[in-house]
Chains A and B, each alone.
Chain A
Amino acid sequence: MATNNIGPKRLVVGAHYGMKDWLAQRLTAVLMAVYTFTLLFAFLSGQNFTYEGWAGLFAQQWFKLFSLVTFAALFYHAWVGLRDIWMDYVKSVGLRLTLQMATIVWLLVCAAWTVQILWSV
């Protein structure tokens, strides 16, 4: 940050969280697209669609980790999107804050559940 930030040079947009979230939403989107094509490839390259083939894919450690990272990306992506929606349409500060907190808690619950699901096979 500039040391001379008096008067017209005053920095009024210091937090940069807008830029950070914008970039994070793009990065997580690209990751989810890569995961989609990986899943699609596994799906189409297998012969018959069976439980063994499907669960066997998720039984591998690399795929568990890949899935977890992608789901984490999904939840962050969803948080940015949902926050945008609440900010655009919910004018009451109290209600908006409540909805935002509920969204965070809900996404955290989903994240914990995802870990349980992925490591159950």
Chain B
Amino acid sequence: MSEAVRETSKKQRREFRNIHITELSNYRMTLASTVSILHRISGFIMFLALPLVLYMLQMSILSEDSFKYFAGIASHPLAKLVILGLAWAYFQHFCAGVRHLFMDLHLGLDKESARKSSVGVLAVSLSLTFLTALKLFGVF
């Protein structure tokens, strides 16, 4: 080992590590960080639900009988809750994704704009989910 390398390895350096899961409670979640983690959670949920969504698509277009069969399953309250959950995941991921695309264009990157847009994302996705719930459970 050369002299120069030994010199640098002796220096005390700050180590930057990812936040460990046990340290999470020490951090105050901002709205922007909530939107960030929800983006990941909603994406993962939709990945897990892929076979379900493909099955629903298959049932709905295969034949008139399978369409009716699917409509029968979908009219069950529990099935409606699952569909509502998926709708929420889609709206949340969609809205937060649009926010990401704007940020990629260096728009609204400062702290205050990021906070405002995260409020917007949550407001829009939750409103759409609420509307979907009303529609699903037959209010209109």
Contacts and interface: CB of A to CB of B under 8 A. Distances in A.
Interface of A: 26, 29-30, 33, 36, 51, 54-55, 58, 78, 81-82, 85, 88, 110, 113-114, 117, 120-121
B15 interface: no
Contacts, number: 48
Contacts of B43: 78, 81
A88 B61 contact: no
B18 interface: yes
Given A26-B101, A29-B101, A51-B67, A78 B62 contact: no
Nearest to A56: B61
Interface in B42-61: 43-44, 46-47, 50-51, 54, 57-58, 60-61
Contact of B61 (A26, A110, A121): A121
A113 B54 contact: yes
B116 interface: no
Nearest to A71: B54
Given A85-B40, A88-B18, A117-B54, A33 B94 contact: yes
B120 interface: no
Contact of B44 (A51, A54, A85): A85
A58 B66 CA distance: 15
B104 interface: yes
A33 B98 contact: yes
A55 B101 contact: no
A17 B53 CA distance: 30
B18 A121 contact: no
A51 B67 CA distance: 7
Contacts of B94: 33, 36
Contacts of B18: 88
Given A26-B101, A33-B94, A120-B61, A114 B54 contact: yes
A120 B58 CA distance: 8
A81 B67 contact: no
Nearest to B39: A81
Contacts of A82: 44, 47
A120 B62 contact: yes
Contact of B58 (A30, A81, A117): A117
B7 interface: no
B90 to A, nearest CB: 8
